[in-house]
Amino acid sequence: MATILDGKKTAEEIKGEIEEQVKQIKAQGGKVPHLAAILVGNDGASETYVNNKVRACEKVGFESSLLRFDENISEEELLTVVEEVNANDDIDGLIVQLPLPQHISVEKVTDRIRPEKDVDGFHPENVGRMAKNLPAYIAATPYGILQLLKRYQIETKGKHCVVVGRSHIVGSPMSILMAGSGYPGDATVTLCHRYTENLEEFTKRADILIVAVGIPGFVTADMVKEGVIIIDVGITRVEDASKKSGYRLKGDVDYEQVYPKSSFITPVPGGVGPMTIASLLWNTLLAAQDAVYSGIEVE
């Protein structure tokens, strides 16, 4: 029977650890970590994500600031806001909620954030440091996946890890991290994407299969081998008349089919999702302690 990688439970454990560290900081008269979030427009999903992050900050004892702007804000105006946050020593971490309006370049905005405050891990300097196996802020979802593997003591050394999806937010960084030295890591990695021919030939050989394509039920039982470790990053609303809401959440892996063949598997919801916010909080704690760029080890 597969072991369920309980992201919700693990995320609560991490938040509890962070909360304890914040209590110690306060007791010693230290600076409380402060996370700022920029939200542009009125996208419903973005509102939910940001509000969840603000509530998570409150729960662990962080300070938080939500900077809201109309969707018509100009790119230059938004870049000015980013510079103002960069210069504010009271703010330790800054995230810009995506997506942004089409007239604003995501790359320009994320590149303008100071690497030391880039707790989302999207700045080229953090991506480059990660690729060189140097201390860096790692994007929250990949970092959350690493923590799940670590806390469930899943062996990765020498294993064949197949990553399906090559986004800059999940797929690409996961392939780099799993191939990197250390634990979790030291795996042999294959990165697949929409143009990969005979995809199932690769997924069937995976000891660890990480799927992030945004297509509900994409991976089926005939695409995996017995004993596979499944990390399902996808989460999509699908119609379900039996639900009061009229929909249910479904991952990129057909859970009911694949579960019997798995040794470990993440559920959707309750798997990777909760780990993302917990990892963002952890990055913010590191930023407040200047732990990444100063080389301080924090466990």
Catalytic residues: 53, 97, 120
For residue 167, count other CB atoms closer than 10 A to its CB: 16
Alpha helix stretches (DSSP H) within 113-197: 124-131, 140-151, 171-179
> Beta partners for 228?
262
Which strand ranges, in their side-by-side order, compose the sheet holding 208-211? 3-4, 262-265, 228-232, 208-211, 160-164, 188-192
Contact present, 219 and 253 (Cβ < 8 Å): yes
Any idea which residue has 């732990």 for tokens?
291
* Distance in angstroms (rounded) separating the CA atoms of residues 46 and 108: 20
Q: Beta strands of 85-232 (E only): which ranges?
A: 93-96, 160-164, 188-192, 208-211, 228-232
* Distance in angstroms (rounded) separating the CA atoms of residues 246 and 114: 42
Contact present, 209 and 224 (Cβ < 8 Å): yes
Report the alpha-carbon angle 175-179-183, nearest 5.
115
Which one-letter amino acid corresponds to residue 272? V
Closest C-alpha among 52, 65, 58, 50 to residue 18: 58
Closest C-alpha among 281, 282, 244, 252 to residue 269: 252
